[in-house]
């Protein structure tokens, strides 16, 4: 688990976890967010967001409903262009602006809350789509890759490949969407509330999948989530967007923030349960 330095717990500024001089033990940085402001509907949601995404980590983005979590994710994948600040892909070669002429499309896999499998295509066709757009593979190779990623995502039944998305359960559709997001072997996977609408058992199995991806494949994951169980089970670090302050007020390991973070973060992380009851004690 990547260690977070003590500076990350500071609530003093938006420049959380992206100090100017990385130490020798800092993990490789994949993405750098600098001075980013988020706007929607003509108002500013968040300002001065600065943080890094590190190789192989699970970074959870949390905060009250409407604070701008999904908006931040859309900025990070280049779907929305910032008025202020920048998002840069810094791994492997020259830094590339996520909103520039050569965005890191192959490097970032995305699965959004709405699932977004095309209903007019089979599951297999959905998963093969990024390969058709961005990879130089023939049909047989595309199918082989797609079947492999479906199995990796926990859908090993060969019949799933030819199934209609509507015939799958909600949990299976989420897995298929994750298989599609993984099909180009991206070093970073961005997921918007993958557990939304799932029962607790299905949600826990999805957490297991994320942990497998992290440990066995080495995929870094940025995860927007409301689910505390999921957060404590899978996240190495948590970025807290404070809806009242209008900026990020904490970045660090969830258990540390629960015990020693700013008051709003501690309240968010202990809502409805005694602090000692969190499973993070066993998993951290
Ligand atoms: N395209 C848009 N036009 C106008 N307002 C928008 C737009 N997109 C988002 N908003 C507003 O911006 C705010 C932040 O939205 P966002 O979805 O990023 O929040 P969130 O933290 O992900 O919320 P939730 O936890 O409820 O999903 C909300 O008040 C939302 O209504």
pLDDT per residue as tens digits for the range 75-88: 999 999 999 999 99
Query: Which residue's entry shows tokens 């909103």?
Result: 99
**Going by CA atoms, what residue is nearest to atom 7 of ligand 1?**
40
Whether 73 lines ligand 1, by a CB cut-off of 6 Å, is no
**Domains by residue range for the chain, with CATH:** 6-104+235-283 (3.40.50)
Residue 28 Cα, ligand 1 centroid: separation in angstroms? 31
What's the pLDDT at 273? 57
- Of the two residues 132 and 23, the one the predictor is more confident about is 132
Residue 68 Cα, ligand 1 centroid: separation in angstroms? 6
Identify which of 81, 25, 83, 75 has the alpha carbon closest to the alpha carbon of residue 51.
Answer: 75
- Of the two residues 125 and 282, the one the predictor is more confident about is 125
Whether 67 lines ligand 1, by a CB cut-off of 6 Å, is yes
pLDDT per residue as tens digits for the range 188-214: 999 998 888 778 888 888 899 999 999
Residue 269 Cα, ligand 1 centroid: separation in angstroms? 21
Whether 279 lines ligand 1, by a CB cut-off of 6 Å, is no
CA atoms of 16 and 184, how far apart (whole Å): 30
Whether 95 lines ligand 1, by a CB cut-off of 6 Å, is no
> What is the per-residue burial (b if ≥16 Cβ within 10 Å, else e) of 189-215?
bbbbbbbbebeeebbeebbebbeebbe
Do 284 and 255 contact (CB within 8 A), yes or no? yes
pLDDT per residue as tens digits for the range 135-173: 899 999 999 999 999 998 889 899 999 999 999 988 889
What's the pLDDT at 115? 63
**Going by CA atoms, what residue is nearest to atom 6 of ligand 1?**
40
Q: Going by C-beta distance under 8 Å and a sequence separation of 6 or more, which residues neighbour residue 218?
A: 55, 56, 187
pLDDT per residue as tens digits for the range 55-114: 999 999 999 999 999 999 999 999 999 999 999 999 988 899 999 988 998 899 998 865
Residue 115 Cα, ligand 1 centroid: separation in angstroms? 18
């Amino acid at each position: 688990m990547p260690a977070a330095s003590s500076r990350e717990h500071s609530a003093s500024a938006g420049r959380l976890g992206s100090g100017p001089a990385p130490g020798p033990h800092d993990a490789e940085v994949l993405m750098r967010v600098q001075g980013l402001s988020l706007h929607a509907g003509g108002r500013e949601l968040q300002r001065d967001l600065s943080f890094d995404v590190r190789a192989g980590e699970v970074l959870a983005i949390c905060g009250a409903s409407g604070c701008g979590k999904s908006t931040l994710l859309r900025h990070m994948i280049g779907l929305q262009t910032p008025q202020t600040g920048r998002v840069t892909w810094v791994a492997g070669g020259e830094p590339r602006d996520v909103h520039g002429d050569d965005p890191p499309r192959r490097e970032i896999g995305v699965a959004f809350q709405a699932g977004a499998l095309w209903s007019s295509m089979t599951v297999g066709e959905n998963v093969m789509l990024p390969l058709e757009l961005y990879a130089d593979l023939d049909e047989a190779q595309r199918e082989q890759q797609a079947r492999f990623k479906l199995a990796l995502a926990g859908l090993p039944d060969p019949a799933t490949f030819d199934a209609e998305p509507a015939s799958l359960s909600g949990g299976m559709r989420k897995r298929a969407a994750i298989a599609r997001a993984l099909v180009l072997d991206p070093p970073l996977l961005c997921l918007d509330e993958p557990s939304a609408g799932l029962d607790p058992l299905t949600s826990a199995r999805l957490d297991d999948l994320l942990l497998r991806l992290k440990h066995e494949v080495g995929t870094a994951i940025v995860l927007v989530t409301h689910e505390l169980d999921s957060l404590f089970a899978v996240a190495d670090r948590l970025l807290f967007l404070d809806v009242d302050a209008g900026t990020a007020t904490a970045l660090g390991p969830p258990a540390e923030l629960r015990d020693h973070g700013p008051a709003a973060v501690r309240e968010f992380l202990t809502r409805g349960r005694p602090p000692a009851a969190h499973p993070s004690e066993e998993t951290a």
